[in-house]
Structure 1
Amino acid sequence: MQLVVGRVGRAHGIKGEVTVEVRTDEPELRLGPGAVLATEPAQAGPLRIETGRVHSGRLLLRFEGVRDRTGAEALRNVLLIAEVDPEELPEDPEEFYDHQLMDLDVVLADGTEVGRITEISHLPSQDLFIVERPDGSEVMIPFVEEIVTEIDLEEQRAVIDPPPGLIDDRAEIASSRDDDSGGDDASGKDGG
């Protein structure tokens, strides 16, 4: 099975290094020297990692055969894809590969069906589950511990505890102007 583990960014320097947007929780395993990666688009690869280092918080890689800035720039926005055994699990029991989460049923703690995970969107700040509801509409669920309370792979379900308004239109609206005194304005002083 193939997993996207990174995206090539800008060239760094003049000797063929590129910045890489890491899309794996195991970069030392997937993006280490000697790793051979498929690419999207396919004609850009396969690419073998020659060297890797972290510079100013960014991963820099050099691929075999890429020796100058021009070659590095030609790889910009190429997706890096690793071949992974479908039975392999992340070392941390609280981490999951995308393929494990796809098609899980999403339910509330009381068992109420919300929908099915059809896509996982990896954003810089957090991951999102794109959930298709029974009526065909979609809802985005942040994949954070406070909302996704349980992932049960045996039962093929994700249990969520969403805040008001996340999956329905019944948001609780709290306002500092809610006031039972009648004629007072928001500042608490008389209007006249």
Structure 2
Amino acid sequence: MTSTPEPRPARNAPWRTPARPSGPTNPDPSTPPEDVYLAIGRIVGAHGVRGEAKMEIYSQHPERIPQLRRVYFNDDPAPVRLLGARLHGGQALLRLEGVVDRDAAEALRGTLVRISGSQAKPLEEGEFYHYQLIGLAVFLEDGTPLGELSEIIESGEVDVYVVRRPDGGEDLFPALHDVVLEIDPVGNRVVVRPQVWEDEPPRQARVVRAARPRARGPRRADH
């Protein structure tokens, strides 16, 4: 039996970083995904008088939320038993162990709700969680160190990687395969090719140093 190679992404296809940071603090980029906690939403108030909590959904797969049986709050590693969950009006309504009335649910307002990486949907080829990229060393194609990937701006279909230089300045790179050539969280390495502008000689490139794009709101986490 013969096999055909997987198609390579188009040169201008975006790198996919479907998940927001895992919580109030980021783990080390080399941490395996199954060993981290991923944000799926934030509690925004109470629903009704029987203790249901309303959660703003970050997940790209909200249909998976009713299947969950445990969640985690903020940076607390202790699991919280999820007695039930349902989707309602673009939000998730959670029934949590020990939360029996409206006051108890309201007290959770602002709480970040997370799941363990082992509960998450596996990443596809070429996908990375945000925590796997933040803090990586960034190099040009010829090996010249450029700085550290300090932030990911979610500006629409294509994320923008912010690289902080040693002098404190910032360079911006769209997360496209012909600009970001390599991402290696285990090797602590990102390789970029600065964009070439039409008014410059061939093979001469410059790093984009421009005003930051305005983000269109948080991209939902994949789980």
Q: 1:120 to 1:17 in 2, by over 3 A?
A: farther
Q: 1:161 to 1:138 in 2, by over 3 A?
A: closer
The reply on whether 1:66 has 2:99 as its aligned counterpart is yes
Q: Residue 34 of structure 1 corresponds to which residue in structure 2?
A: 69
**C-alpha displacement at 1:23, in angstroms?**
3.9
Q: Residue 47 of structure 1 corresponds to which residue in structure 2?
A: 80
CA distance in 1 between counterparts of 2:172 and 2:51 reads 39
Q: Residue 109 of structure 2 corresponds to which residue in structure 1?
A: 76
**C-alpha displacement at 1:115, in angstroms?**
2.3
Q: Residue 52 of structure 2 corresponds to which residue in structure 1?
A: 17
**C-alpha displacement at 1:75, in angstroms?**
0.4
**C-alpha displacement at 1:72, in angstroms?**
0.9
Q: Residue 97 of structure 1 corresponds to which residue in structure 2?
A: 129
Whether the aligned pair in 1 keeps the contact of 2:172 and 2:210 (CA below 8 Å) is no
CA distance in 1 between counterparts of 2:89 and 2:121 reads 30
When Rg is computed on C-alpha atoms for both structures, the one with the higher figure is 1
**3-state SS of paired residue (1:93):** coil
Q: Residue 37 of structure 2 corresponds to which residue in structure 1?
A: 3
Task: State the AA in 2 paired with 1:7.
Answer: R
**C-alpha displacement at 1:127, in angstroms?**
5.7
Q: Residue 152 of structure 1 corresponds to which residue in structure 2?
A: 183
**3-state SS of paired residue (1:60):** strand
**C-alpha displacement at 1:47, in angstroms?**
2.1
Task: State the AA in 2 paired with 1:67.
Answer: V
Partner residue of 2:168 out of 113, 121, 136: 136
**3-state SS of paired residue (1:102):** coil
**C-alpha displacement at 1:56, in angstroms?**
1.9
Partner residue of 2:148 out of 113, 116, 133: 116
Task: State the AA in 2 paired with 1:167.
Answer: V
Q: 1:128 to 1:26 in 2, by over 3 A?
A: farther
Q: 1:70 to 1:3 in 2, by over 3 A?
A: same
1:173-188 → structure 2 map (5 Å cutoff): none
Whether the aligned pair in 2 keeps the contact of 1:147 and 1:163 (CA below 8 Å) is no
CA distance in 2 between counterparts of 1:124 and 1:31 reads 28
CA distance in 1 between counterparts of 2:50 and 2:157 reads 31
Structure 1, unaligned stretches of length 5 or more? Answer: 171-192
User: How many equivalent residue pairs?
Assistant: 165
Whether the aligned pair in 2 keeps the contact of 1:104 and 1:158 (CA below 8 Å) is no
TM-score by length of 2: 0.53
Structure 2, unaligned stretches of length 5 or more? Answer: 1-34, 198-205, 212-223
Q: 1:139 to 1:65 in 2, by over 3 A?
A: farther
CA distance in 1 between counterparts of 2:61 and 2:106 reads 25
**3-state SS of paired residue (1:59):** strand
Task: State the AA in 1 paired with 2:54.
Answer: T
**C-alpha displacement at 1:3, in angstroms?**
2.5
Percent identical residues: 33
